[in-house]
Chains A and B, each alone.
Chain A
Amino acid sequence: MSARNLPPVYNKIAQHAVFPEMNHDERARYNFLANLNKHLAHVSTGNKIAFENRVAPKFEKEHGRKIASTEELKEAISKDAHYQVWSSLRRSTMEMRQQAGRSLVLRQAAALRDKVRALNQGKDSLVLDNKVAVPPYLLACDNHIMPGSYHTELIEDDVTPAANYDTGLFVTTAGLLGRYSDGGGKAIVSWVKKTYPDFNPKRILDIGCGMGHNVLPIAKAFPDAEVIGIDTGAPMLRYAHARAMDLGYTNVKFMQMDAAKTSFEDESFDWVQSTMFFHETGGKSIYNIMNEVYRVLKPNGLTLHIEQPQYTEDMSLFEKFIRDWDALNNSEPYWSKMHDIEPLDLMKSSGFREEDFMQIGAKAENDLDDGSQKADEPEDHGRSPIWNVFGAFKN
Chain B
Amino acid sequence: MEEKIDYIKLASNKPKGKRPYFHDDPAVERVLNITMAIAGELAVIRERMDSIERLLEKKGTVTREEIETFVPETKEQEEQRQTWHAEYIGRVLRIVQQEQEELENPDKSIEEIADDINEM
Contacts and interface: CB of A to CB of B under 8 A. Distances in A.
B15 A98 contact: yes
Interface stretch (A60-68, A87-95, A177-185): A87-95
A92 B34 CA distance: 9
B113 interface: no
Given A78-B22, A84-B22, A99-B11, A28 B47 contact: yes
Contacts of B2: 155
Interface stretch (A104-112, A115-123, A125-133, A296-304): A104-112
A92 B44 contact: no
A148 B11 CA distance: 11
B22 A91 contact: yes
A329 interface: yes
Contact of A102 (B11, B37, B51): B11
B7 A96 contact: no
Contacts of A155: 1-3, 5
Contacts of B36: 36, 89, 92-93, 96
Contacts of A83: 22
A29 interface: yes
Interface in A143-170: 145-149, 153-156
B33 A92 contact: yes
B51 A24 contact: yes
Quick one: which of B5, B11, B32, B37 has the most chain A CB within 10 A? Answer: B11
B5 A141 contact: no
A146 B13 CA distance: 9
A331 B12 contact: no
Contacts of B3: 110, 155-156
State which size class the interface on B falls in: 20 to 34
B44 A140 contact: no
A329 B44 contact: no
Contact of A106 (B10, B37, B40): B10
Nearest to A157: B1
Contact of B16 (A106, A109, A140): A140
Contacts of A329: 20
Interface of A: 24-25, 28-29, 31-33, 36, 78-79, 83-85, 87-89, 91-93, 95-96, 98-99, 102-103, 106-107, 109-110, 140-142, 145-149, 153-156, 328-329, 331, 333
10 contacts: A25-B44, A28-B43, A32-B40, A84-B23, A85-B23, A102-B12, A106-B11, A146-B15, A147-B14, A149-B16
Of all A-B residue pairs in the complex, the 3 with the closest CB atoms, nearest first, are: A106-B7, A103-B11, A142-B15
